[in-house]
Protein backbone atom coordinates (compact mmCIF):
# COMPACT_ATOMS: atom_id res chain seq x y z
CA UNK A 1 0.00 0.00 0.00
CA UNK A 2 1.55 3.27 -1.11
CA UNK A 3 2.02 5.70 1.73
CA UNK A 4 2.87 8.58 -0.57
CA UNK A 5 0.66 9.23 -3.59
CA UNK A 6 0.90 11.50 -6.56
CA UNK A 7 -2.44 11.12 -8.28
CA UNK A 8 -1.61 13.11 -11.41
CA UNK A 9 0.72 11.19 -13.70
CA UNK A 10 1.21 14.20 -15.93
CA UNK A 11 0.72 17.95 -16.09
CA UNK A 12 1.06 20.36 -18.99
CA UNK A 13 1.61 24.08 -18.40
CA UNK A 14 2.39 27.07 -20.57
CA UNK A 15 5.75 28.76 -20.11
CA UNK A 16 5.53 31.64 -17.64
CA UNK A 17 2.49 30.25 -15.85
CA UNK A 18 2.34 28.51 -12.50
CA UNK A 19 2.86 24.74 -12.18
CA UNK A 20 1.26 23.07 -9.16
CA UNK A 21 2.23 19.51 -8.36
CA UNK A 22 0.36 17.68 -5.63
CA UNK A 23 1.21 14.91 -3.22
CA UNK A 24 -0.78 13.12 -0.52
CA UNK A 25 0.44 10.90 2.27
CA UNK A 26 -1.23 8.55 4.71
CA UNK A 27 1.25 8.07 7.54
CA UNK A 28 0.85 10.71 10.26
CA UNK A 29 4.36 9.83 11.53
CA UNK A 30 5.95 11.47 8.49
CA UNK A 31 7.60 14.70 9.52
CA UNK A 32 9.94 15.56 6.68
CA UNK A 33 9.06 15.95 3.03
CA UNK A 34 11.17 16.42 -0.07
CA UNK A 35 10.72 17.04 -3.77
CA UNK A 36 13.04 15.60 -6.39
CA UNK A 37 13.30 16.35 -10.07
CA UNK A 38 14.29 13.71 -12.57
CA UNK A 39 15.30 14.01 -16.21
CA UNK A 40 15.21 10.91 -18.43
CA UNK A 41 18.20 8.59 -18.03
CA UNK A 42 19.45 10.55 -15.01
CA UNK A 43 19.13 10.08 -11.28
CA UNK A 44 16.73 12.27 -9.25
CA UNK A 45 18.15 15.54 -7.99
CA UNK A 46 17.05 17.20 -4.77
CA UNK A 47 14.90 20.27 -5.26
CA UNK A 48 13.37 21.47 -2.01
CA UNK A 49 12.26 20.13 1.36
CA UNK A 50 10.03 21.03 4.27
CA UNK A 51 9.84 19.98 7.88
CA UNK A 52 6.49 19.36 9.53
CA UNK A 53 7.05 22.28 11.87
CA UNK A 54 6.59 24.59 8.88
CA UNK A 55 3.77 25.04 6.42
CA UNK A 56 5.75 26.74 3.68
CA UNK A 57 9.28 26.78 2.33
CA UNK A 58 10.48 28.87 -0.55
CA UNK A 59 13.57 28.69 -2.72
CA UNK A 60 13.63 30.96 -5.73
CA UNK A 61 10.90 29.91 -8.15
CA UNK A 62 10.02 26.86 -6.06
CA UNK A 63 7.70 26.84 -3.06
CA UNK A 64 6.50 23.85 -1.14
CA UNK A 65 3.32 24.02 0.94
CA UNK A 66 2.42 21.54 3.65
CA UNK A 67 -1.08 21.00 5.02
CA UNK A 68 -0.66 18.54 7.87
CA UNK A 69 -4.33 18.24 8.71
CA UNK A 70 -5.08 17.20 5.13
CA UNK A 71 -1.84 15.19 4.82
CA UNK A 72 -1.16 17.04 1.62
CA UNK A 73 1.77 18.89 0.15
CA UNK A 74 2.21 20.77 -3.06
CA UNK A 75 5.07 22.17 -5.10
CA UNK A 76 4.55 25.48 -6.88
CA UNK A 77 6.85 26.57 -9.68
CA UNK A 78 6.51 30.20 -10.71
CA UNK A 79 7.17 31.12 -13.43
CA UNK A 80 7.43 27.77 -15.19
CA UNK A 81 10.22 27.38 -17.73
CA UNK A 82 10.73 24.77 -20.48
CA UNK A 83 13.78 23.49 -18.58
CA UNK A 84 11.46 22.53 -15.73
CA UNK A 85 10.01 19.77 -17.91
CA UNK A 86 10.85 16.59 -15.98
CA UNK A 87 9.33 14.02 -13.67
CA UNK A 88 8.81 15.28 -10.13
CA UNK A 89 8.76 12.91 -7.16
CA UNK A 90 7.65 13.76 -3.69
CA UNK A 91 9.09 11.83 -0.77
CA UNK A 92 8.38 11.55 2.93
CA UNK A 93 10.30 10.34 5.92
CA UNK A 94 9.66 9.70 9.58
CA UNK A 95 11.79 10.87 12.50
CA UNK A 96 14.66 8.42 12.00
CA UNK A 97 15.18 9.52 8.39
CA UNK A 98 16.52 6.15 7.36
CA UNK A 99 13.63 5.32 5.09
CA UNK A 100 12.17 7.57 2.47
CA UNK A 101 8.87 6.80 0.79
CA UNK A 102 8.39 8.09 -2.72
CA UNK A 103 5.34 8.85 -4.78
CA UNK A 104 4.92 7.52 -8.30
CA UNK A 105 5.91 10.82 -9.90
CA UNK A 106 4.26 13.52 -12.00
CA UNK A 107 5.60 14.28 -15.45
CA UNK A 108 5.60 18.03 -16.01
CA UNK A 109 5.67 19.42 -19.53
CA UNK A 110 6.21 23.16 -19.84
CA UNK A 111 5.30 24.34 -23.31
CA UNK A 112 7.16 27.28 -24.86
Partner 1 sequence: DVKVTQSSRYLVKRTGEKVFLECVQDMDHENMFWYRQDPGLGLRLIYFSYDVKMKEKGDIPEGYSVSREKKERFSLILESASTNQTSMYLCASKTSGNTIYFGEGSWLTVV
Positions in the binding site for partner 1 (CB under 8 A): 2, 4, 6, 9, 32, 34, 36, 41-46, 49, 51, 89, 91, 93, 97-105
Length of the chain: 112
Residue 85 or 93 with smaller CB distance to partner 1: 93
CB of 12 to partner 1, least distance (A): 18
Residue 91 or 110 with smaller CB distance to partner 1: 91
Say how far apart CA 61 and CA 17 lie, in whole Å. 11
In three-state secondary structure terms, 68 is coil
Report the relative pairing of strands 56-59 and 62-67 from DSSP bridges. antiparallel
Residue 53 or 112 with smaller CB distance to partner 1: 53
Q: Which of 64, 88, 90, 62 lies closest to 77 in space, CA to CA?
A: 62
Residue 37 or 71 with smaller CB distance to partner 1: 37
Other C-beta atoms closer than 10 Å to the C-beta of 48 total 17
CB of 97 to partner 1, least distance (A): 6
Amino acid sequence: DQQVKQNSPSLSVQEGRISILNCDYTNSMFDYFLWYKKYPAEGPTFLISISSIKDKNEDGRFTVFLNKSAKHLSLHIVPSQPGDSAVYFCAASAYNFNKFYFGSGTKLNVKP
